[in-house]
Amino acid sequence: MAASKKSATLSSVERRAEELDTIAAVLPMERRDELAELLTDRDVETLRHLVNQGMGDNTLRALTSDLAYIEAWGLAATGRSLPWPAPEALLLKFVAHHLWDPERRAADPDHGMPHEVDDNLRRQGFLKSTGPHAPTTVRRRLANWSTLTRWRGLDGAFASPALKSAIRLAVRAVPRQRRRKSVKAVTGDVLAKLLATCATDTLRDIRDRAILMVAFASGGRRRSEIAGLRLEQLTEEAPIEIEGGPPLPSLAIHLGRTKTTTGEQDDVVYLTGRPVNALNSWLAAAKIDKSSVFRGIGRWGTVSRRALDAQSVNAILKQRAEMAGLEPGEFSAHGLRSGYLTEAANRGIPLPEAMEQSRHRSVQQASSYYNNATRRSGRAARLL
């Protein structure tokens, strides 16, 4: 009887793994087998429904990642799979386990996430950082938990006054300084140092040079947009005539669906000159004539058929920073995005013109880079 039950469990896990394969393009599939064991049949059904509804790839990846974490936490904290909808008490327990005061925990070991729950999540690879979670992370996971609850046709207690109050008081008790996604912006001088490490004609150098130049010159594209770039999104444009020099090659990138747009909006950004040459050099060297633009390179120099993942773009930038003698921990792929606007501000390019290329929707967010550049070089910072 026990063997029969175990066999049934294995078959259900294998079935979920096969179902996850059908939506592999939008899920962190390097953890497919782990997800198949952790998620329930209803979880997978919900994810498949979201894919069919046309939810953005990045949003779905975030939902899946957070769902897996919440399911793992629920099992570790209660010994049972998550109940749907989650009762208010469980939501409050989630807040208490993730937003806590390190000083109080030093005096009271029972404060915050219990050590056995912490150890359980670390063994599974779900918990890596030490200390309490960032409030933004807790809010995002609760928001995604709420979204998944609604997609199941259920009502949750996510808007309860007690939960809102608990989060507000926890954040107030442990103030945190907001940190940029990238400590330092990849401005023009930094980019030049990174590109100097891509000086050979090896496939890896040709690819990485194209990634850095395209990501920066196209307005500081997000790493997911660079990783997911396809040849079908590129359109050759008429060369740009310049006085006293040869025409510059021009290329249009049709972004399609991004973090702030839908697939129905045809947002276009342009590449001109050196970035176009770098991109064409990579496509020719890698013999790419369709599908994904930026791909992995094997140990023996074999170009993969599969696209790079977004994390690989981040890893490439950090590796190049280390090779350039910079501190890799101070840079991330987002530094290309902030660096583009910072460099535009330093060069006196009007904000609306820079935003046309970066495709920022928020003037307030984009202008912060301009304001910082102006404050650093302005008279108010040079009174002495």
Q: What is the pLDDT of residue 347?
A: 83
Distance CA 118, CA 123 (A): 9
Share above pLDDT 90 across residues of the chain, in percent, rounded to a whole number: 33
Q: What is the pLDDT of residue 14?
A: 67
Distance CA 377, CA 371 (A): 10
Burial class (CB in 10 A: 0-12, 13-18, 19+), 111: middle
Split at pLDDT 50, 70, 90, the class of 74 is very high
Overall fold of domain 188-381: hpI Integrase; Chain A (1.10.443)
Split at pLDDT 50, 70, 90, the class of 36 is low
The gap from C-alpha 310 to its chain's centroid, in whole angstroms, comes to 7
First vs last C-alpha separation in the chain: 84
pLDDT of 48 > 80? The answer is no
| Mean pLDDT for the stretch of residues 351-375 | 68
Report how far apart, in Å, the C-alpha atoms of 24 and of each of 16, 44, 110 are: 12, 12, 40
Q: Any bridge partners for residue 230, and if so which?
A: 292
Q: Note the pLDDT tens digit of each residue in 293-351.
A: 999 998 888 999 888 888 899 999 999 999 999 998 888 888 888 888 888 878 887 77
User: Between residues 376 and 266, which one has the greater pLDDT?
Assistant: 266
Residue type, 300: W
Count the helix, strand and coil residues of the chain and give each as a percent rounded to the nearest 5: 60, 10, 35
Highest mean pLDDT among 4-18, 47-61, 98-112, 257-271: 98-112
Looking at every residue in the chain, the average pLDDT score rounds to 80
Distance CA 146, CA 154 (A): 9
Distance CA 371, CA 198 (A): 33
pTM score: 0.56
Q: What is the pLDDT of residue 342?
A: 83
By the 8 A CB rule, do 88 and 121 touch? no
| Mean pLDDT for the stretch of residues 270-286 | 94
Give domain limits for the chain: 13-173, 188-381
State the DSSP code for 328. G
Distance CA 210, CA 316 (A): 12
Q: Note the pLDDT tens digit of each residue in 217-230.
A: 888 888 888 988 99
User: Between residues 198 and 150, which one has the greater pLDDT?
Assistant: 198
Say whether 306 sits in a helix, a strand or coil: strand
Distance CA 9, CA 16 (A): 11
Q: What is the pLDDT of residue 333?
A: 86
pLDDT of 206 > 90? The answer is yes
